[in-house]
Structure 1
Amino acid sequence: MIFTGIASLGLMASTALASPYRHTARQMACSTNMTVEQPSAPVAHLSNSTAPSNSTTTAPSSGSSGAQNVVYWGQNGGGTVENNDLAQYCTKEAGIDIVVLAFLYEYGNGVLIPSGTIGQSCSIDTSGKPQNCDDLAKAISTCKANGVKVIMSLGGAAGAYSLTSQQEAETIGQNLWDAYGGGSGGSVPRPFGDVSVDGWDFDIESNSGNENYQYLIAKLRSNFGSGKYYITGAPQCPIPEPNMNEIITKSQFDYLFIQFYNNPGCSVGGTINWDDWKKNIANTPSADAKLFLGVPASPLGATGTASGSKYYLAPADLNTLVGQHKDDSAFGGVMMWAAGFSDANTNNGCTYAQEAKKILTSGQTC
């Protein structure tokens, strides 16, 4: 099972909201004079789709066309506090293509409108009523105008969520659409007003009622029409996935942000089970889902302490891993947990998110 402590994808926020942390996105043209020492990273992080190599770096390549850089935002942990202005992560310089808002972590068992805390200011109660969410709504609008997708995530490593029936799942699915999708909202409050998200993410780390998620997702999809919305998931790497396997194989997912960390046997630092994941979703509704390399954004990102540093890949090692998969038609890009860890982890003036973007686009590190 995944570590469910301070930094796992995903931890629900503390109810004691931290003060905003102002962190301006760094330029992608990184200075070579700003080297920050990083803890040593493991040299072996091979995929089961690639023969072993004696090198921990790859030669520069043209990058991976269409690959996307994904960052979770909205939860602090491991001593990091992310920038409370989401729009700062949606500039061209930030290098992020998809921001996942974490989390709506209370729903089901009679609660029909998901609630949670997103960022350090915005909270949504079980009636759907928002508090201090106007600034976040404006930031989401800015992100979308800048071409950055914004996805709303449900679940997390800590929370109170379970679907007790098909009917409950379908009701929650419709309420999610009415609250955050392209509809009018009906009788459900819209926390972000007329601003909609680009999709819904499922980071389900409990196995209670998971047979009903297929109905929630189907109800969401029934509203999509001709609009472009996404269903994404953040499964752990073991197969069968202990909590999400039934959800993924019975529902249509567009992107899978696979957590290749915190699980010995399939994590970076060892041999990841990339090909096994391709086989796992073959002949399922998710057969065409793009797969993402999910990694911690700093040595503290996996567990919140130095104990998880074995799951961290230094930029050169991430470049190697991306190079092994960038030509695979199933490759979608890189996902990292999380924005605050990336901000605190700089190399040659680049955040880890900026490093990942440069790797994806040019095959080089900063």
Structure 2
Amino acid sequence: MLGSRRTPRAMSLSTGVSNTTVCASHKKLRKRCAGQNSYGASSGSLAQQSLATYCANTDIDIIPMAFLYQITSGTGGQPVLNFANQENDCTTFSGTELIDCPNIGADITTCQKTYGKTILLSVGGATYTEGGFTSEAAAVAAAKDLWNMFGPEQWGSSTPRPFGSAVIDGFDFDFETSVTNTVAFANELRSLFATDTSKKYYLTAAPQCPYPDAADNSMLSGGVHFDAIFVQFYNNYCGLQSYVAGAANEWNFNFDQWDTWAQNVSANPDVKVLLGVPGDTSAAGSGYEPLSVLQPILEYCKQFDSFGGVMVWDASQAYANAGFLAGVKSCLTSSAKMIRGMRWRF
């Protein structure tokens, strides 16, 4: 189903000042996430590096920073972020646990203006325990608070801004358990995006591969307009390890099911689905596959119109796995059907 609309896929790396996720695609969405330092090195080249360091890598287009893991329950009712070793140069706002990180703010600006990267803030993660919001009104209020903190500076606002004047490019949702009133939360963020016409903002989610996703189903069942989803094809029966090369039908590996969701259920008919993969053997309990095994899986996924790239968890893992990111990018850009010279960035 490689239609004429297909544009080059991209790679995405997610980083949080604590763990990092890397995502890559046929060059349609090249993404990586950073911030969780899950590889675990405390020093040296394998420890989590600065956001700007990852942004300098030309294999990466998108970096979700992970995680904002408390939205409303931190001291003073303020959010709590965890960016691991990248918090070493941060302070906290008085009476709160909310970090004040001008160094990360400067990196965000460098990433956007010097390297042309898309920087998202990932909300949730495995340690998120709030369970959503007590009401739709509370969800809307929380969305407004996050917009004031991480969106464009608002005239007269006294809301603390962890990244100073830096403005992120959107939010990613990584809820691992059932949450309430998140449709109102997400839709309020989408409405707030529209108030700033100076640039494009993005809303993404990272569901696990079993369909429907238990945590995000209310948002994914048509209630929220997502630009892309980063499906975690690991730590589950439908992970990469379940792919059967050459099979007429994939019984457990279910990228086709997520493509059907994109075509028939998603509020955004042009939503992109990224293949979420572990960056190394220790990045997940199951689902890591070496490049030699990952390549045919990517070739299989390229047939679907919704395929937008690869997400890799996480940056520290991918950097410790020499050649992995470059190899993924090579797999993504190898298709003869790829439209050369175009760059699609969500």
Partner of residue 32, structure 2: 71
- CA displacement at 1:119 relative to structure 2: 3.9
- CA displacement at 1:10 relative to structure 2: 11
Kindly report structure 1 stretches of 4+ aligned residues shifted beyond 4 Å. Answer: 9-14, 109-112, 123-130
Mapping 1:117-266, distance limit 5 Å: 117-122=82-87, 130-131=98-99, 133-145=101-113, 146-161=115-130, 162-184=132-154, 186-209=157-180, 212-225=181-194, 226=197, 227-249=199-221, 250-264=223-237, 266=238
Mapping 1:1-366, distance limit 5 Å: 13=18, 64=26, 66-80=27-41, 82-93=47-58, 95-108=59-72, 113-122=78-87, 130-131=98-99, 133-145=101-113, 146-161=115-130, 162-184=132-154, 186-209=157-180, 212-225=181-194, 226=197, 227-249=199-221, 250-264=223-237, 266-271=238-243, 272-281=253-262, 282-303=264-285, 308=286, 311-346=287-322, 350=323, 352-362=324-334
Judged with a 3 Å threshold, the aligned counterparts in structure 2 of structure 1 residues 138 and 283 are, in CA distance, closer, same or farther, namely: same
Judged with a 3 Å threshold, the aligned counterparts in structure 2 of structure 1 residues 183 and 326 are, in CA distance, closer, same or farther, namely: farther
Q: Percent identity?
A: 32
Q: Which amino acid aligns with 2:291?
A: P
Name the SS of the counterpart of 1:159 in structure 2.
Answer: coil
Matches of 1:324 and 1:148 in 2, distance apart?
27
Matches of 1:125 and 1:99 in 2, distance apart?
25
TM-score for the superposition, normalised by structure 2: 0.77
Asked whether the equivalents of residues 55 and 111 of structure 2 are also in contact (C-alpha less than 8 Å), the reply is yes
Matches of 2:15 and 2:164 in 1, distance apart?
26
Q: Which runs of 5+ in 2 are unaligned?
A: 1-13, 20-24, 244-252, 337-346
CA deviation string 1:83-111 (max 9, x = no partner): 33111111144x11111100000124697
TM-score for the superposition, normalised by structure 1: 0.73
Q: Which amino acid aligns with 2:80?
A: S
The CA RMSD measured in Å over matched residues stands at 2.7
CA deviation string 1:299-342 (max 9, x = no partner): 11113xxxx3xx11111222211111224221110001001101
Q: Which amino acid aligns with 1:182?
A: P
Name the SS of the counterpart of 2:281 in structure 1.
Answer: coil
Name the SS of the counterpart of 1:269 in structure 2.
Answer: helix
Q: Which runs of 5+ in 1 are unaligned?
A: 1-8, 15-62
Name the SS of the counterpart of 1:67 in structure 2.
Answer: strand
Matches of 1:128 and 1:71 in 2, distance apart?
30
Name the SS of the counterpart of 2:80 in structure 1.
Answer: strand
